[in-house]
Structure 1
Amino acid sequence: MIWVIGGTKDSRDFLEKFVEYENDIIVSTATEYGAKLIENLPVKTSSEKMDKEAMLKFVENNKITKVIDTSHPYAFEVSKNAMDVAEEKNIQYFRFEREKVDILPKKYKNFEEIKDLIEYVENLEGNILVTLGSNNVPLFKDLKNLSNIYFRILSRWDMVKRCEDNNILPKNIIAMQGPFTENMNIAMMEQFNIKYLITKKAGDTGGEREKVSACDKLDVEIVYLDKKEMSYRNCYTDIDILIKNLIK
């Protein structure tokens, strides 16, 4: 059995091609939303968050022979645990990693730690658009300038509720499915008079290029939560080349 760690658009793109060559696949996702991304594909699925011990049991129970990690670029703990488990169980590990966007915005700041980013944000004047995902919303709830911060999240009731549970007013919640075009980003930032955009370096798949171009046109500063560098084994940035190496 081949285990694909999924939950991203990357995993959907990979699986749509890989199922032509392999039919013994189980895909794990940490959320139900991640599972919906692979609906209607001929694969087994498992939707649960797993720590290292759970991964070890998963590998044993499903007689896993290969691990293909297509998790989010910022899912550091997931990838680290998967690599450790693969090494302990003496099975192959492969990683698909999005290519980095090859442009930098005119105005930007980088932060490696979310706590440092939050401290910086609290002292900003002007409206701010946060696109870090709903999991990070609670970190903003006590900021003195919270009324000037807008949160763009997925249009799911549980994510909207998370915002409301953390002092975010309905007028500051933008619940929409991305990624967004440059024009959509421009329209949204103009509508809310945005001066700062907070985002991850999510590559082309996550709409990073469109964010950069939109911010440059509006003279908006991008505040990045930077990606930690990880040393992946068997890492590929091209799905077709990854599949070629998997089936040879």
Structure 2
Amino acid sequence: MKAVVFSGTTEGRVFSRQLAALGAQVLVSVATPLGAEEQGEADGITVHCGRLTPEEMTALLQGAVLCVDATHPYAVDATKNIRAACAAAGVEYHRLLREESPLPAGSMVFATAAHAAAFLAGCSGNVLLTTGAKELAAFAPLSPERLFPRVLPTREGIAACEAAGVPHRNIIAMQGPFSYALNCALMKQFSIRYLVTKDGGAVGGFAEKAQAAQDTGAQLIVVRRPAENGQTAAQILARCKEVLV
């Protein structure tokens, strides 16, 4: 039986391997070459690399018994498109949830990156941005000299920083998750006063960032995670055993 997993996340990679171990033929869809590299090769798993339109998602789902959406918690548009594609293809849909993190006392929480940027416009001090290249445009109104974006070491990541006018000396192009020690070192090196992050959960290194901000005296700013409904990996695997094996 065929199952499709839309992934590009740590939990998606783990889940796809668990699913293949049940004997299912798993097609993993990732958006970028980096996602394909991280997914790697494994028995029972085929990887499709490239961003898909809703129509292409529907075509990819043909013949599948079940689909698991394991995309990033903040990838709202991707989840919307995957749900619609499953409905169009008549394929059972499941959303794999990533557990939320407890927010430390003193955290500042904003609904969007733009709201966080508006707050920072009234402050002074350097800002470590760990919200990803796609959110950089929201911080363009701030002085680029203040911004220290941490982005993936890809052409797209660097290009987004350049488009936002960020000086090359401020660009931190690295792939995480990052340790507490490395977060502290970067924040001290660049005299960071504010750390902006999403709640990426344990697999996204949220706790390490939060602790580093606290211990270096920086203000932690969190872009709120979109509300959604879904299931745990154990719950979805139980369903997969019923329909795939």
In the superposition, the TM-score normalised over structure 2's length comes to 0.90
CA RMSD for the aligned pairs?
1.8
- Paired with 1:241 and 1:23, the residues of 2 have a C-alpha distance of 17
Instruction: Give the residue type in structure 2 aligned to 1:20.
Output: A
Code of the aligned partner of 2:241: I
Distance 1:163 1:81 in 2: 27
- Pairwise mapping of residues 98-247 of structure 1 onto structure 2 (< 5 A)? 98-102=98-102, 104-143=103-142, 145-232=143-230, 235-236=231-232, 239-247=233-241
Residue of structure 1 equivalent to 2:83: 83
**Are the equivalent residues in 1 in contact too, given 2:126–2:191 (CA < 8 A)?**
yes
Asked if the contact 1:68/1:94 (under 8 Å) is kept, the reply is yes
* 1:74–1:105 CA distance, 2 compared to 1 (3 A): same
C-alpha distance in 2, partners of 1:240/1:106?
31
Deviation string 1:187-226 (CA, Å, 9 cap, x unpaired) is 1111111111011011001001111111122221111111
- SS of 2:204's partner is coil
Rounded to whole Å, the distance in 1 between the matches of 2:140 and 2:100 is 31
* C-alpha contact 1:98 1:203 (8 A) present in aligned 2: yes
| CA offsets 1:108-152 (integer angstroms, 9 cap, x no match) | 221112322221122221111000111222333342x22011011
Give the equivalent residue in structure 1 for 2:53: 51
Contact kept in structure 2, 1:185 and 1:210, CA below 8 Å: yes
Q: Deviations over 1:13-44 (max 9, x none)?
A: 11232221134111111212111111222322
* Count of matched residue positions in the alignment of Structure 1 and Structure 2: 240
Q: Which amino acid aligns with 2:50?
A: E
Q: CA deviation at 1:153?
A: 1.1
Q: Percent identity?
A: 26
Q: Is the 8 A contact 2:16 2:28 kept in 1?
A: no
Q: Which whole-Å CA distance do the structure 1 matches of 2:218 and 2:76 have between them? A: 29
Indicate if the aligned counterparts of 1:129 and 1:151 stay in contact, CA closer than 8 A. Answer: yes
User: What's 2:97 paired with?
Assistant: 97
How many angstroms does 1:240 deviate by?
A: 4.1
Q: Tell me the CA shift for residue 241 of structure 1.
A: 4.4
- Is the contact made by 1:107 and 1:216 (CA closer than 8 Å) also made in structure 2? no
Q: Distance in 2 between matches of 1:113 and 1:217?
A: 25
Instruction: Give the drift of 1:163.
Output: 1.3
Instruction: Measure the CA separation in 2 of the matches of 1:81 and 1:39.
Output: 25
Q: Secondary structure at the match of 1:196?
A: strand
Q: Which residue of 1 aligns with 2:15?
A: 14
Q: Which has the larger displacement, 42-51 or 121-130?
A: 42-51
Tell me the distance in 1 between the aligned counterparts of 2:42 and 2:27: 11
TM-score under structure 1 length normalisation: 0.89
2:225 maps to amino acid: K
